Structure 1
Amino acid sequence: MATESGARPHKAGAFDIRLIIALLIGVYGVILTVMGIGFTSDEEIAKAAGVNINLWAGIGMLVVAALFVVWALVRPLVVPAAPESADPPAAPAE
């Protein structure tokens, strides 16, 4: 269903800010999860009250990133065909 100018609404796709945020949180989540699994010493765990905080923070960030992706897929943003103008068209000069 095209408008007069031939443009039609489309989805934001990769430019949806939720996907960009999910990517950033996901990258940090992967880094923290890997650090928590393989590179956290017993001394560091003892300093964090016996909790492998890198592992748990990484897993939490991965869950949040997955929720952002699901949100973007379930409710995609639709970009309007033409920008809406707040100004009414100018009256012709006499």
Structure 2
Amino acid sequence: MDFDIRIPIGLLFVCLGLLLGVYGLVGDPAIYRAHSLGVNVNLAWGLVLLLFGAANLALAVLLKPRP
């Protein structure tokens, strides 16, 4: 079977990272000043999720499963 679980998981994390990152970019900065010590947590974790998903996709492409 040629199904590699890293591909759908990578796509899921890339999509969630993009959604969260965009929400962090367009969100009201006053919220972050009041609730998270001035750190845009949505943008930061969106980037983390995006990088994790991209790493999963890269590993799925570069490290093909053995037959």
Counterparts in 2 of 1:17-28, with a 5 A limit? 17-28=5-16
The alignment covers a number of residue pairs equal to 66
**Match in the other structure for 1:44:** 31
Per the alignment, in what secondary structure is the counterpart of residue 24 of structure 1? helix
Give unpaired runs (5+ residues) of structure 1.
1-9, 81-94
Per the alignment, in what secondary structure is the counterpart of residue 32 of structure 1? helix
Structure 1 vs Structure 2 CA RMSD? 1.5
Moved >2 Å (runs of 4+): none
Per the alignment, in what secondary structure is the counterpart of residue 51 of structure 1? coil
CA drift of 1:19 comes to: 0.5
Give unpaired runs (5+ residues) of structure 2.
none
2:62 is the alignment partner of 1:74 = yes
CA distance in 1, matches of 2:7, 2:48: 17
**Match in the other structure for 1:5:** none
State TM-score, norm by structure 2: 0.86
State TM-score, norm by structure 1: 0.63
CA drift of 1:41 comes to: 1.4
Work out which structure has the larger RCO, using CA pairs closer than 8 Å and 6 or more positions apart in sequence. Answer: 2
CA drift of 1:16 comes to: 1.2
Q: Which has the higher helix share?
A: 2
1:8-51, CA deviations, whole angstroms, 9 ceiling, x for partnerless residues?
xx7x2xx310001001111110100110111x212321201110
Q: Which has the higher Rg, Structure 1 or Structure 2?
A: 1
Once the two structures are aligned, what percentage of the paired residues are identical? Answer: 32
